[in-house]
Amino acid sequence: MLNRETLLRIALALFGAIFLLVYPLAIIWPSGWAWHHGAPYESQYFMMIVGVYATLGVFLLLASRNPQANLSLIWFTIWSSVVHAGIMGFQSFSAEEHMGHMLGDVPALGLVAVVLALLVMSPKKT
């Protein structure tokens, strides 16, 4: 069976890779990942978000090598995901066209936060 450290490494690598895929996700499923109409590159806001999440993705991939040395980055990812999902969840109710986010990026960020928090807070088995 995989231990907590191995599961955390896998989760960090998986979420890091997914954060690098925000742009393609917006092309494949725009109602769940993009907050504007048209191509992703047509929104300056969205391109800024892509840049931030791609950067976080790279650092999560690097953190997967040694999670214990990167706990502050992991906690930042957890809490920023909670805050971001909360704001987006609230904003999704502002217009019918944004309800797709309640099945896309909102639960995805919630999943990131829950999985990483459970893995970081679970007791080490010796």
The answer to whether position 14 is within a domain reads yes
Q: Please give the structure tokens belonging to residue 79.
A: 């809490």
Overall domain count for the chain: 1
The answer to whether position 45 is within a domain reads yes
29: region left, alpha or beta (phi > 0 left; psi from -120 to 50 alpha): beta
Given a cut of 80, whether residue 11 has pLDDT beyond it is yes
Q: Can you tell me the distance from the alpha carbon of 118 to that of 8, in angstroms, rounded to the nearest whole number?
A: 9
User: Counting beta carbons within 10 angstroms of the beta carbon of residue 8, is it exposed (0 to 12), middle (13 to 18) or buried (19 or more)?
Assistant: buried
Structure pTM?
A: 0.86
Residue range(s) defining the domain that contains residue 40: 4-121
Q: Can you tell me the distance from the alpha carbon of 97 to that of 32, in angstroms, rounded to the nearest whole number?
A: 10
Band of the pLDDT at 21, cuts 50, 70, 90?
very high
The answer to whether position 126 is within a domain reads no
**What are 60-76's pLDDT values in tens digits?**
999 999 999 999 999 99
Helical ranges in 20-104 per DSSP H:
22-28, 30-33, 44-63, 71-92
**What are 81-103's pLDDT values in tens digits?**
999 988 888 877 776 666 566 66
